[in-house]
Every structure is written in C-alpha cells, then in structure tokens.
Amino acid sequence: MATTKAKSPLNGASETIESVVTASSDALKQGLDKAVKSYDNVASFNKATLEALMQSASVTTKGIEALNAETLAFSKQSLEDAVAATKAALTSRSIQELVEVNSDFAKSAFDSYIGQFTKMGDMIVTLAKSAAEPLNGRTAALVDVIQSARVA
C-alpha cells in the first residue's frame, strides 16, 4: 500500500508567508532605491540652484558697482560743469551775457541729465536680464525635475 503524503495546511501557509515576505522585501528595496535616487536628484538640483543664485548675486554685485561708478562719475562731471558755469556767470560783463551763460548751462545740464537717465536705465535693464539668466535656467530644470518625478 502506497502511502500518500498529504500536504499539511502549515506547508501552504509557510509558502504564502515566504512569498509575502519576499515580495515585501523586494518592494522595500525598490522603494529605498527610488528614495535614494530621488534624494540624489534633489541634492544635485539644490546644488545647481545654489550655484545659479551665487552667479546671479555676483552679476548683480558687479552691476551695482558699475551703476555706482557711473553715478559717481556723472555727479563729479555735473559738479565740475556747475562750477565752470558759476565762474562764467560771475565773470559776465553784462546781464545779456549772464542770461546766455545761464541758459546755455541749463540746456546743457538738462541734455546731460536726460542722457544719463537713459544710460542708467539701459544699464539697469541689462543688469536685470543678466542677473535673471542663471535663475531662468533653474526654472526650466525645476520643470524637468517635477516632470521626471511624475513619470517615475
């Protein structure tokens, strides 16, 4: 008589537990790998963003220095022009000559101020564009990071 060995209910439960533990272990490993990869991506993104901020700050600092130098040079020239006009006015021999000196100075000063304001405005616009450029690149990179996170 052949004896058939019956499968014990414990054997089936043991196999089920093993498969659940294996699947859980694999899922945990995949989750940890994904988390580590995400952390590396975030760290890399943050490092690049910090570098972009530093580059933008450097450009801004240099631009402000250039604006300050331009303002100082213009102020110095304006003061020299005012002193020259004052000397010319004080040495005027007639009211007519005084009015002409004053009129010429006023016209020259007005033209100079308008030209300087235009120049400073152009410098500020250029500075703003230059300072924003590294940050614009980071915005595009952020969109890429978000899209890759959604896909993963």
Query: Token match 């152009």: residue?
Result: 122
Query: For residues 129 and 116, what is the distance between their CA atoms, to the nearest angstrom?
Result: 20
Residue 143 forms part of a structural domain: yes
Contact in structure between 98 and 92 (CB atoms under 8 Å): yes
Residue 27 forms part of a structural domain: no
Confidence of residue 73 (pLDDT cuts 50, 70, 90): very high
CA end-to-end distance (rounded Å), the chain: 60
Token reading at 99? 């009015």
Confidence of residue 143 (pLDDT cuts 50, 70, 90): confident
**DSSP state at residue 92:** -
Residue 119 forms part of a structural domain: yes
Average confidence score pLDDT of the chain: 86
Token reading at 44? 């890399």
Query: For residues 113 and 128, what is the distance between their CA atoms, to the nearest angstrom?
Result: 22
pLDDT, mean of residues 123-147: 89
Count up the domains in the chain and report the number.
1
User: Domain range for residue 60?
Assistant: 47-151
Residue 134 forms part of a structural domain: yes
User: What's the pLDDT score for residue 118?
Assistant: 97
Give SS3 for 152: coil
Contact in structure between 79 and 132 (CB atoms under 8 Å): no
Confidence of residue 146 (pLDDT cuts 50, 70, 90): confident
Residue 26 forms part of a structural domain: no
Query: For residues 98 and 85, what is the distance between their CA atoms, to the nearest angstrom?
Result: 10
**Pick from 22-26, 65-69, 111-115: least confident:** 22-26
45 versus 106: which is more confidently predicted? 106
Token reading at 50? 């910090």
pTM of the predicted structure, to 2 decimals: 0.67
* Tens digits of residue pLDDT in 1-26: 455 555 555 666 677 777 777 878 87
